[in-house]
Amino acid sequence: MKLYMPTMVFQEKDAVRNHSEQMAHYGKKALIITGKSSSKKNGALQDVTDGLEQYHTSYVIFDNIEENPSIGSIMKAAELGRAEGTDFVIGVGGGSPLDAAKAIALMIQNRDSTEEVLYQQKDLRHLPVIAVPTTCGTGSEVTPYAILTRDDLKTKQSISHMIFPVLALVDGKYIEKAPSSVLANTAVDALGHMLESYFHSNATDYSRMFCQYAMEVWGTAADVLFGAEASEEDSARLMFASSLAGMAIAQTGTSLPHGLSYYLTYHKGIPHGKAVGIFLAGYLDALPEEFEPQVIMALRTLGFGSIGQFAGIMKELLGTVEITGEEMEIMADEIAGNQRKLAAAPFDVTREQILQIIQSAGKE
């Protein structure tokens, strides 16, 4: 078994404030990467800039990372980072700015390279990345992945370089006032990471350990997604579950639901977590019989009964997505032709089964 998790994680209330000195000492000038507005409203950006100012580290902010970041935005931000002489990158926000920060850190360091290197198998260095997550979904603060939109391939794909943040400062307070749709979509992304990593051909006892505890923690806070009032403790738990699930996929990668989700996000603009969540019950259902005891264990740990009940609850939470018969065929072909995604499933998956998973997402 192998376990590699090189990120230093502080998971606590006021994590950024408590560890500002460490954050500020990664370089002389930081490039802060964030989304358009949420990090200004939830206080994360202020905490980061206060922390840098306290230790006299200068910074410049790029606050224009869109959801499902484009390569164009990466290049623009990297240009700013180079022009300003920045020597480390701090991603603040959901998975989009965190993933973007990793790709930007690579492009600043390799200043004479063009965007093609993002997807080339080359051994390249990158600036240090610090991550401050404000959604409870991607776990990007502890994963080496950076998923960008590829217009040339009409899909989304992780860059070829494995970039773990050096430091993750994780604080549940940033999601306390998040709209219910952001909470639901991102908590379901984390749920996808737990289930896809648990039922993955690369799973080991180490990676399952992260999944199992992530499911337990997620299960104790999930009421919040269905309208219960969130306590400070609930927000902290959803964040914790998301980071644990990130540590799991950092070991295994994701599987078919994530593979299928990219088509829906690229072509229909469906948010990442929802695009993953609608396929989860179908994925569990497609697992061969020998997995049944583990499926039951996983669902119980999360607080669900049968796969059928789980499917119903996901639909209630996320709604359905209309997928035409033609789109279903295209999606099935795409995955059936993707050896890497097929190999992620812990059984020999047929095109027919992929089609069934897709069809199950549309059923009432």
Q: Which residues bind Fe ion (CB under 5 A)?
A: 189
Under 8 Å between Cβ of 146 and 99: yes
Q: What are phi and psi of 329, to 5 degrees?
A: -65, -40
The conformation of residue 70, written as its DSSP 8-state character, comes to B
Give least dist CB 92 to ligand NAP, A. Answer: 9
Q: Is 104 in the site for ligand NAP (CB under 6 A)?
A: no
Restricting to residues 242-281, name those near ligand NAP by CB under 6 A: 272-273
Q: How far apart are CA 289 and CA 56, in angstroms?
A: 59
38 binds ligand NAP (CB under 6 A): yes
Residue 255 interacts with which of ligand NAP, Fe ion, none, CB < 5 to 8 Å by class? none
Assess 37 for contact with ligand NAP (CB under 6 A): yes
199 DSSP 8-state letter: T
Q: Which residue has the tokens 């997505």?
A: 321
When binding is defined by CB under 6 A, the residue of 35, 91, 219, 282 that contacts ligand NAP is 35
Residue 115 within binding range of ligand NAP, rule CB under 6 A: no
Query: How near is the Cβ of 105 to Fe ion at its closest, in Å?
Result: 20
131 DSSP β-pair partners: 91, 168
Q: Smallest distance, Å, CB 313 to ligand NAP?
A: 20
Choose which of 88, 164, 174, 304 interacts with ligand NAP (CB under 6 A). Answer: 174
Which residue bears the tokens 């790709």? 103
- The distance of closest approach from Cβ of residue 348 to ligand NAP in the complex, given in angstroms and rounded to an integer, is 26
Which parts of 282-311 interact with ligand NAP (CB under 6 A)?
A: none
Q: What is the DSSP string of 75-130?
A: HHHHHHHHHTT--EEEEEESHHHHHHHHHHHHHHHSTT--GGGGGS--------EE
Binding span for ligand NAP by CB under 6 A among 53-61, 178-186, 212-220, 341-349:
178-186
165 binds ligand NAP (CB under 6 A): no
Closest distance to Fe ion from the beta carbon of 192 (Å): 6
Answer yes or no: are the C-beta atoms of 49 and 90 closer than 8 Å.
Answer: no
Cβ closer to ligand NAP: 27 or 172? Answer: 172
- Pick the closest to residue 135 from 197, 180, 178 (CA basis): 178
How far is residue 184's CA from residue 127's CA, in Å, rounded to a whole number? 33
Binder among 9, 26, 32, 39 for ligand NAP (CB under 6 A): 39
Q: Measuring CA to CA, which residue among 198, 206, 210, 197 is closest to residue 253? A: 197
Instruction: Indicate whether 81 belongs to the interface with ligand NAP (CB under 6 A).
Output: no
From residue 49 to residue 78, the character string flagging contacts with ligand NAP as x (rule: CB under 6 A) and all else as - is ------------------xx----------
Give 41 or 363: the residue with its C-beta nearer to ligand NAP: 41
CA 210 to CA 246: how far, in whole Å? 9
**Contact, 108 vs 78, CB < 8 A?**
yes
User: Residues in the site for ligand NAP, rule: CB under 6 A?
Assistant: 35-39, 42, 67-68, 93-96, 99, 134-135, 137-140, 143, 145-147, 156, 174-175, 178-179, 182, 186, 189, 272-273
